[in-house]
């Protein structure tokens, strides 16, 4: 961040303010960890901070400190819109285009409030007064640690903030294995452990909390896996009927897409999940190496993200969406 930006933000934070902190719709570990980490930090600076999520967050993140105070826009639109309208300052974390908040975008677009964006996705939109945007970071949580450090307020970091930030670093780095994981990421993680974050407990809360039904759903997903060795590609499909059969709850399909990449020789994996309620097929893409799924998701499936992890959606049927995907595959160059 530039010095004048840091000065500008410090001026905004110099007196107590009403601050709304917003993650993207269907928030993941990084979105919830970064918003809650910043929330605890801003409260220590005597601000009236509120995390406002566009929709529900998954159960496996409900242990995060402060998650019980998160407002959910889509559950109570009118009242939550009022909270947004009364904010003096708005942080948007872990996304960079207001449409990523779903219907909340309509409320946000009308506000004259200053926005601060902290994010690591490609191609940020131009809505924020201050922007700390850098795709070289593996997680927004790592950036929040830096942000607090840039403000010269590292002494306010504590075990609670550290636990939130450690969570997003772990989830967005695939437990420290994705290429954006640097020695600096490990230094930040080490600092968070020194502050009291309990890595073993956090890992257990995140990954060893499966329900029986979730594992059964995973079994079905793996049976549905289709492999195209010529295209170094695999994909998984899940119908709404299958989700219902295994008593799907939010978060149950998180991470399943990665199994496709674990097959030898596969560099591109996708999962197509039918969502009858929203009338869409939600898609996740993952890749290894130089195959750019952000570009792929943007070009063909109304989405975006990062080079090796992106998402998108389709309003066509599940079968048609997959048919489109297979025909697009044959036009790609997989010699990357």
Question: Which positions touch ligand 5GP (CB under 6 A)?
Answer: 24, 28, 284, 303-306, 309-313
| DSSP secondary structure string for all residues of 217-272 | HHHHHHHT-EEEGGGTEEEEEE-HHHHHHTT--TTTTTTTHHHHHTSTT--EEEEE
30 vs 254, which CB is nearer to Mn ion? 30
What is the number of residues in the chain?
Answer: 336
Among 25, 41, 54, 94, binds Mn ion (CB under 5 A): 94
Beta carbons within 8 Å of 75's beta carbon, 6+ residues apart: 55, 56
Of residues 172 and 254, the one with the C-beta less far from Mn ion: 172
The CB-of-48 to ligand 5GP minimum distance in angstroms stands at 28
What is the smallest separation between the CB atom of 36 and Mn ion, expressed in angstroms? Answer: 14
Say which entry of Mn ion, ligand 5GP, none residue 311 contacts (CB below 5 to 8 A, set by partner kind): ligand 5GP
172 interacts with Mn ion by CB under 5 A: yes
CB of 169 to Mn ion, least distance (A): 10
306 binds, among ligand 5GP, Mn ion, none (CB under 5 to 8 A by kind): ligand 5GP
Cβ-in-10-Å burial (0-12, 13-18, 19+) of 138 comes to buried
Which residue stretch of 58-66, 135-143, 249-257, 304-312 sits at the interface with Mn ion (rule: CB under 5 A)? Answer: 135-143
Nearer to ligand 5GP (CB atom), residue 260 or residue 311: 311
Kindly tell me which of 9 and 310 has the beta carbon lying closer to ligand 5GP.
310
Which two tokens mark 227?
């492999």
Helix (H/G/I), strand (E/B), else coil: 48: strand
| Strand ranges inside 108-209, DSSP E | 115-119, 130-133
DSSP 155-178: GG--HHHHHHHHHHHHHHTTTTTS
Quote the least distance from Cβ 157 to ligand 5GP, whole Å: 25
CA–CA distance, 233 with 226 (Å, rounded to integer): 9
- Smallest gap from Cβ 28 to Mn ion, in A, equals 7
What does 305 bind: Mn ion, ligand 5GP, none (CB cut-off 5 to 8 Å by kind)? Answer: ligand 5GP
Q: Are 200 and 175 in contact (CB under 8 A)?
A: no
Q: What are phi and psi of 117, to 5 degrees?
A: -100, 130
- Retrieve residue 70's tokens: 């998160």
Among 20, 22, 30, 236, the residue binding Mn ion under the rule CB under 5 A is 30
Nearer to ligand 5GP, 244 or 278 (CB): 278
Toward ligand 5GP, which CB reaches closer, 38 or 195? 38
């Amino acid at each position: 961040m530039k010095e004048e930006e840091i000065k500008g933000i410090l001026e905004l934070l110099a007196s107590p303010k009403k601050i709304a902190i917003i993650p993207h719709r269907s928030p993941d570990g990084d979105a919830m960890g970064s918003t809650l980490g910043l929330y605890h930090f801003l409260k220590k600076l005597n601000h009236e901070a509120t995390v406002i999520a566009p929709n529900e967050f998954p159960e496996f993140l409900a242990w995060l400190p402060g998650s019980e105070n998160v407002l959910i826009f889509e559950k109570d639109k009118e009242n939550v819109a009022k909270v947004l309208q009364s904010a003096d300052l708005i942080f948007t974390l872990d996304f960079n285009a207001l449409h990523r908040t779903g219907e909340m975008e309509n409320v946000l677009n009308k506000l004259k409030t200053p926005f601060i964006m902290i994010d690591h996705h490609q191609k940020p939109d131009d809505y924020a007064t201050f922007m700390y945007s850098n795709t070289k970071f593996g997680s927004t949580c790592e950036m929040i640690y830096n942000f607090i450090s840039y403000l010269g307020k590292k002494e306010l970091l504590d075990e609670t903030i550290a636990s939130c930030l450690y969570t997003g670093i772990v989830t967005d780095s695939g437990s420290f294995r994705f290429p954006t994981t640097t020695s600096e990421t490990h230094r930040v993680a080490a600092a968070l452990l020194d502050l009291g974050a309990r890595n073993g407990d956090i890992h257990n809360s995140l990954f060893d909390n499966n329900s029986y039904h979730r594992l059964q759903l995973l079994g079905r997903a793996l049976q549905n896996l289709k492999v195209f060795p010529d295209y170094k590609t695999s994909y998984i499909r899940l119908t709404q009927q299958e989700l219902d059969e295994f008593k799907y709850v939010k978060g149950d399909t998180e991470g399943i897409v990665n199994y496709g990449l674990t097959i030898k020789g596969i560099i591109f994996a996708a999962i197509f999940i039918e969502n009858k309620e929203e009338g869409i097929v939600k898609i996740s893409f993952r890749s290894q190496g130089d195959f750019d799924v952000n570009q792929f998701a943007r070009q063909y499936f109304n989405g975006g993200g990062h080079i090796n992890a992106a998402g998108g959606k389709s309003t066509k049927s599940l079968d048609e969406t997959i048919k489109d995907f297979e025909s697009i595959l044959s036009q790609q160059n997989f010699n990357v």
